[in-house]
Structure 1
Amino acid sequence: MSSRPVLPRRTATVVCVVIGVGLLGPGVGPAGAAPEEVETVTSCTEAALRQAIDDVADGGTVAIACDDPIVLTPGGGSTIVVDKTMTISGTGHTVTVDGGRQTSLFAVQSGGGATSPDDLPTLTLRDLTLTGGWSQDEGYYGGGAVWNLANLVVERVHFQDNRAFNRGGAILSEGAGRLTVVDSTFTGNRVTCPIDGSGGGAIAVRQRQQTTISGSVFDGNSATGLASGGAVLAHVSRVGAGFPVEPPPGGPVPADPFGAPLVITDSVFRSNEVTVQAVAALDVSRMYGGGAVAALDHPLTVSDTLFEDNVVTTPAIGYGGAVLAASFRQAATTLTGVDVFDNGFPDRTNGHVSNGIGGGLALHGTPSIVEDTIVDGNLVGGGLYTRGGPVELVATAVENNVAGAVVPGDTTYGGGLASYGPVSLTDSTVLANSGGSCRILWGGGPAPAGDIVVDGGGNDVDDPGTCFRLAPPTTPPAATGALVAPTAPVAPGSGVTVEGAGFVPGARITLAGYLLGAPAPGASLAAAATTGAATAPGPVDLGAGQADATGAFSLTPVLPTAGVWQIVALGAAADGTTAALTAVLVAAAPGVDIAPVVTSQPVPVTAAAGTQVTLSASAAGAPAPTVQWQSSQDGGTTWTDVAGATGEDLTVTVGSVSTRYRAVFTNAAGSVTSAAATVTGSGTGTPTPGPGGGTATPVATDGAGAGSGEPSARPTAASAPALATTGSELLPLVATGVGLLLAGAGLVLAVRRRPAR
């Protein structure tokens, strides 16, 4: 469990904001600059402020030198329109401009003739408190305190209890200009709108130039309705704050000119909220959320910032308790040095365990880098939700998050990561999350093939098998169990259902196919492997899946070509090892014959004379091959059929002379011969099995030297002899070594990261 770091630098920022408003001196601008024109307001009246703004020259300053509130009223002119560059400053005084919940405060707009953002007027607000703004008066649908259609700079301003009908409880910034917010606070601002398109309890932006927020605090702001962004909303649509869940057909769409970057640095977002409400049935094909920040088709960069106790409340599915970043326009997201603590979704009331995905962060369609970030303690919805991207997590901790659900009874919806992929993890930790480390998601149809969560190295992850898909080895691994699969041939190119169990609940399952082929008549599998005849150069990726809560799975891979295939399912086993369940399938069209391929070889056995031993061999082909065992007592020079030995198992009595046995498999397409296994008598004593597990049992004998050709019960795949030795016996040692390396890297990461924060 991670310990939460003290944030001395961020605490200092908050203190500076609090003590800075109204106390810092007027020293602004470079030394030696020409003095600007100043209109001084000494009477705290609405009329005096309006007159000073009218009188000041372009580029001048209105200095408010009084300490009583200035209350704007509808009777006095309502919103003050600014159409020239100026600064309104309360430096040195405690200055409050109050709309009395009757009118918005300022509107910034071009006087006409502007051809570029630099030609637009710029309003700078400095050392003020703006409160009680209300944007429901005629003509102003957003921006309870300020509606910006040009350029707006906010320095050390406190926005409190401003309201908007639609967007931007404190500030709505639209058009061709830019917005810059420095060392300011936003408290208790709100947006309330029952129709689609609301959001940004404190700030909403839709503009061509960058929005920059630095050193600022957002506390207790809210957006209610079909809304996103409890504190900040960056959007491109004029009619909807929701974002489509499914990407548009045809791939990424062009960038929107109003989708300028949103950059947030050294700031705090605490206790902001989105409450999703609809006048009719909620459209679940659109995403709503971002308890603190929602960036929809805007590039988002956040650094050295805290998100804490932000929430999304919705009757359907919410996204991003702290941050929702979504884009189908390749708008990228970068989070660096960000702390995401205790955000999420409150318990819902309609029978689901939770109502959200990504209790901390939701990254949907946006290429993202999350670096040196802590995602900790986020509620019912997990730590991170990702879809598309790709997303990279570097030196990031995802710990102690609580899983949520989107269907009744599903309590494991991504405690750490819930992802459609692709996601890569490097030097990161995913630990102590309820509901497991990873939940791989997909829509209808088969499970996604390939890697969804990629292990970039240096990670410490609980149950890594729920995150990382094992890469299939170049040759078939030794089987640890059997897959349930059809025994009859299947048509090439068609799906075939295979099932297995014994994995860690939620384990990522890799399916691989090894084409054993249809060797030329008379060629054994061992010979084919040596010569390369009729075999694939390596494993064929047949897709992937997820074990259910019991550790079982069912998948439907497609065998791409005709032949004899060995199917292997790889994943984390419940006992901490790697499970490799196998089955042999034959893919053949009706009427097409495939020569036999040996799929398991008999193994040598040394046993006491007079005991019985059982040899086993198997093969596959189309049609199913017959078998005939043969024996040789001259070292394999001559071979004789064993009478009646026509089953896959052969039981013989050990004699005093060593005897070799082999199985010949035949069908209409040809025949193939297994490797020879020698049965050697050792006098008396305990039988000595060969390396593949042949067996011997002491019994009375009549001296005939050969047992019945009728097979005994065929061994299960768990006890069946392996295929020809391929080096797969090294896998357990390699896996152990890799596990030790990962554990060591996790310790190094913990020692390195935590003191630095």
Structure 2
Amino acid sequence: MPSSAPRRLGLTAAAVVVSVLAALLGTAAPAQAADATITVGTTADGDATGACTSPGILTLSSPVTLRSAICVANNRGGAQVVDVPSGSYALTGGTLPVGTQPGADITIQGTSSSTITGDGEHQVFLLDPAMIGGVAVTLDGLTVSGGVDDVYGGGAVLGGSPDPSAPADALVIRNSTFSGNRANTSGGSTAAPGGAVQFAGGSLTVTNSTFTGNDAGTSSGGAIAYQSVQSTGQGLRIDGSTFTGNSATATGLTGGAAVDVADTAASGVTFTITDSTFTGNTVNAGTGRFRGSAILLESGKLTLTGSTFGGNRNATADGSAIAVSGGALTAQYNRFAGDNGVALALLGGQAAATENWWGCGGAPGASGCDAVSGPATTSPYLTLTATAAANPLVQPATSTTVTASLLVDSAGAAVPATKLGAFAGTDVAWTANGIAGATVSPGTSALAAGTASTTFTSASPGTGTVTAALAGAGASAAVAIGVYAPPAIASTPLTGVVGRPQSSVISASGYPTPALALDTAAPAGLSLTDNHDGTATLTGTPTGPAGDYALAVAATNSAGRVVATIPYSLNQTAAFSSPPSAQFRVGSAGAFTITTTGRPTPSPIALSGPLPTGLTFTDAGNGSATIAGTPAPGTGGITTITLSATNGVGAPATQSLTISVLEAPRVTSSAETAARVGDAVSFTVTTAHAYPVPVLTRTGTLPAGLAFTDNGDGTASIAGTPTGPGGSFPITVGATSAAGSTAAPLTIVVAEPPAITLAASNQTVGDGATATFTAAASGFPAPGVQWFVSEDGGSSWRELTGETAPTLSFRAALAQNGNRYRATFTSTAGSASTEATLTVTLTPGITSAAGASFAIGSAGTFTVTTTGSPVPALRTGTTLPSWLGFTDNGDGTATIAGTPPAGSGGAYPIAITAANGALPDATQDFVLTVPEQPAITSAAATTFTVGASGSFTITTAPGYPALRTLAVSGALPSGVRFVDRGDGSGVLTGTPDAGTGGVYALTVTSASAGSPAATQAFVLTVDEAATFTSASRLEVTRGVEVDFAIATGHAYPAVTAIGVAGTLPAGLVFTDNGDGTATITGTTLDAEGSVPLTLTAGAGSQTLTLEVSNAPVRPLPAVPIVADGPLGGVPSTAVPGQSLTVTASGFAADSPVTFGIYSTPVVVAQVDADVNGVATATIVIPAGYTGAHTLLAIGTAPDGSERVLRSAVLLPGGTGGGSGGPGGSGGGAGEPAAPAGAGGGLAGTGSDVGGIALLAVLLLAAGVAVVVRRRVRRA
């Protein structure tokens, strides 16, 4: 049942008709009735008293039908019981509504043979049809079949409170059977669930009931579809019930061919299904997949306990028994067997399915077991065991009890017997094998509290097997039966190894199984353990000594005792006892002896790996060997070889032997090396064929910055960074070890790159003077010098030919100003350079203008420019205002910059000086002028009032220069002008004319010569009070519609709200339109009179007098005039003296209506129309009238116009004195006498109830119906 909005759906026209009848007849709703029981007295269907269509009827039909009993119980309200005796109740009148009032608690109680059968087109029960909530219904002891719903689902029962804000409903089904009910028998809706029951919104309890052969079609829930709606009062409990043969069709959106569960409201309630059976529920092939042929859990929490699932079929592999698409399933102690494909499919949410039986005694998916898909937890699971009470049996005993049990799960934990109700009464089949003639009795026994037993019997000895079979699973117990036999010990010799763990088995025969023990002490480290199966194990780790031992072992059983001696040989593995190292010296003879231990004596001894040249290996064959000889030159060092020895006990012994050959050292590295001052250097002193590793030393002085390090491996390092001075450094290297010593010469030559010792310095000279640069450098070997010149600031250099002396001199020219000169010193060790700059000077001058102007409020800048070499520096000695700055740019220019603030207009003198060291300095008297516009200082807005004199003064502040004028531009309102006073101020003055109210945008301009004009956006607001332009008097006719418009004239601010003070006549409504207008509309029936009202709009007001008057009495016209319609109640023929009740409609309420008859107009009645505009009069046809005549009514219409109704009547003649024919009472032939008082006057009026009832019937026949019933639609 895919989750969606609540799913109650609706019908019915009959309820509308009932309400119409109730309204017309004036029937009140019934009061709550006390608890009562209604007994059904017939199997026929019907509602003879109309209790189902009128809630006020409490009368039962006679005899009492089931429908009448239920509807009267609905109308009574409160707790009611409908007793349904045994019998077959076939419904012919459609659905039975149950629980139509809030708080209803209705029980429909049958016997085991009370059968209610639907008509194959409607649901059987519709619970809480008005969906008011708070309705409780119990169905007990009923068999319900043949229910069908093709619109909303719930073929047998549709119930619940689908409004989340309404109280929850409750439905209890117990001891009942639902069979052959269907939903969606036509079409393909997936949103109409519940083949038998659909319940959405409340609690549903099902106990001890059966659902068989129900079908949901293309929707979910073949038997039951449940969904929560409210957050409280929700619940689903199914207990002890059976679901078999229910079905639904696969669509890809549906599931639960038996039960569909959804906690859409997330109520948090745990739903439960306990001790129930689901078998043979199937999925019909359709257009897609199907989830759960027994149960689908869509959302919420469901606990499933002690239930049985078998033979359910789902070809779509999404759960032949259960599918979980959301929520949490807890399933325990259930029995699954024979469900095809995947029995439990976890498609979403979570599932804890532990302690269940899956059909084979193993895990889900094991051979013969139902399968599970998805990440469900299924372990531990239930499994079957078999145990014998006595085992083994010793003759003369011949029988024992064997028990099959489910009381231990797959993890070895105990299973409570009380939880295994799903298995109660299930047969266990027993068989016996292994011993000819062995039997079990009984051959079949039923499980009770999780166990079943049989008795195994065999007169012959041997080992028998008893097998218990439960629904395809089996468990076996082996039972041994034997006769007495004395013990006998197998005396097989044993062996052991010193220090190695021992595990040897000693066996004995005999019956009963003999016990084994040592009769004497075992070798040190060993012990004998009886295994109680006719064997014993000699274990431990023997500590020796190695040798041959005799073990005395005793075997004892009921038939006697015997002692046997078992040979035990304790050996010892081979091992080397000689040292793992030997030493020889090159050129000297030597020998080394190798020795071993072990039992037997190890032989042979072998060597792996090459020996140093000059040495040989000899095996003596007695557990020893020799390495001897004279090592050859060059063999000094360490040689490792591997020795091995074996004696047949365990793995061969091995030893790693290290042979050291001593040899004197010699130096092998170069006698000379080179280095460079400032560069890191590393030189390695090496030796060869020296063992042990020699110690290396040096004598003599190393170059500064270098260090000698013995590396401890026969080499030494001379490393570091020479710091100078450069040169040639001779030293001596020595090598010494236990084998001898040696020495060798080594020369280190250190080159030193040139280094500047006297750097060239910058020179400044006048144009034509001599410039001199001098530089010097050191280094090894001594460097030479070359001078270069750069004329582009160092980007490129040109060699000065012939200039190779440390000093460079020449005559300077202005064109050489800024040239750079470089001296480069070079040797084989590298090069170094020094450089300096030549400056050639020229006197300064100022070339820029001597004045500038800045604007108030705008950033201004002026650049001062100069000539001269070097570039002059610029400064001022004048104190500047804080907003003005003077900045030397360092490139022969300076910047005067700043933003003059308001009020800073004027002239500012600045003294400027330019200097570059060449005298004289240049000076300039600079003047900065700041023009300033005048400022408008008065406010930017004022307000005048229409009809009142106003004045506003505009003021200014002076600028630079100070002279200024004032002007105002823009349209001024009539009556207002501007005057410039000529002193920097002006005035707005005058009286605004009527109709000038509003906002005027003006511009005020103040100007002075030589500076920008100042402007101000000025707003002049003219206030104007509102006036009413509509009439001050309103005449109203009672019962006639009023539509009076109220209007106002020009105003500022504009009128946005109109109010009224005073009480309007009843029925009239004042409406403010929000745009300066309002209306008074409606119709009043208040008495004649004058009503004073006050209208207000802002500051304006008006007195409105409302006059209420009666509608006039309109006389009959001389001749009948064109009518607006016919009269009611006028027959086609009548006779003089006949009374007629005539109605005229469409008149103003409570207005006078005149009735007359023509040809000559005669007033026959004058009455007032009622509040609905209907005038009803009883008139008498005057005597003496015959032929064709016209009856006419005239009065005032609701819009105040004249309204006329007329109808023709034929007067063929008559006796008078009564009435006859339609519309009257008469005394004509064959007609009843007139009622008392019907003579010459107008008769009283009344209500024709028969006509009203007929109208209701006609409405029902014509299909005047409204859909008021609703159930949950599903997405």
Q: TM-score range by the shorter chain?
A: 0.3 to 0.5
Query: Higher helix fraction: Structure 1 or Structure 2?
Result: 1
**Which TM-score applies when normalising by structure 1?**
0.41
Q: Which structure carries more relative contact order (alpha carbon 8 Å, separation 6+)? A: 1
**Which TM-score applies when normalising by structure 2?**
0.25
Query: Higher strand fraction: Structure 1 or Structure 2?
Result: 2
Larger Rg: 2
